[in-house]
């Protein structure tokens, strides 16, 4: 897939405020500081499309981008909620859960996992929650340029092993690096195939 246009549409505070009946949506979500904005910019080849911040947890709304006039890329707040109050955490949790439970336009979620670290309970819990909600998703391991090749392989294998303890069939997964543009073609091919199959 060649990205010919990528345009910011709008931001919404909850699922019920999002426009209904639009093009298929591919949602991107991950723990705070997983490199989501960098991945979105790499994927769309637009350096400033998603705002990259040194402070985790800057995304607080459901941000919609229209890609090639064909599909919406939805940038969701990160879970983990770095340095937020209890009430704000609750608001973010409700926003994310509401989107995944009720958004009929959602085609697939891309759950970003930091490949630079061993499996975390927060990532595993979130993936299991999506499974319980029967949300279609794939795993996207980010920052593949950070660990050495052996450590990268070990961290990914450890995460998949943990999932295999409770999952009969593991979800598809991709390995990416925003710095090296690794995995870009594979992710875009996946989206293109998904669009053709609808």
- Asked whether residue 55 carries a pLDDT value surpassing 70, the answer given is no
Express each pLDDT in 153-196 by its tens digit.
999 999 999 999 999 999 999 999 999 999 999 999 999 999 99
| Band of pLDDT at residue 58, cut at 50, 70 and 90 | low
Q: Which CATH superfamily is domain 6-147+159-197 in?
A: P-loop containing nucleotide triphosphate hydrolases (3.40.50.300)
The domains of the chain are located at 6-147+159-197
What the block records as the tokens of 130 is: 């999506």
Express each pLDDT in 111-138 by its tens digit.
999 999 999 999 999 999 999 999 999 9
pLDDT for the residue 127: 97
Q: What pTM, to 2 d.p., does this model score? A: 0.93
């Amino acid at each position: 897939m060649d990205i010919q246009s990528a345009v910011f549409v709008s931001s919404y505070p909850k699922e019920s405020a999002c426009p209904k009946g639009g093009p298929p949506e591919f949602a991107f979500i991950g723990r705070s500081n997983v490199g989501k904005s960098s991945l979105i910019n790499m994927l769309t080849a637009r350096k400033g499309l998603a705002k990259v911040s040194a402070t985790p947890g800057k995304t607080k709304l459901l941000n919609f981008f229209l890609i090639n006039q064909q599909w919406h890329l939805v940038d969701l707040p990160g879970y983990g909620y770095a340095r937020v109050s209890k009430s704000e955490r609750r608001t973010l949790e409700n926003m994310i859960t509401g989107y995944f439970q009720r958004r009929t336009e959602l085609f697939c979620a891309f759950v970003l996992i930091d490949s630079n670290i061993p499996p975390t309970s927060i990532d595993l819990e979130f993936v299991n929650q999506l499974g319980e909600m029967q949300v279609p998703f794939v795993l996207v391991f980010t920052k593949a340029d950070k660990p050495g090749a052996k450590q990268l392989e070990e961290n990914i294998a450890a995460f998949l092993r943990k999932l295999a303890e409770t999952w009969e069939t593991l979800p598809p997964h991709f390995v990416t690096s925003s710095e090296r543009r690794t995995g870009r073609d594979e992710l875009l091919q996946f989206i293109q195939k998904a669009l053709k199959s609808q």
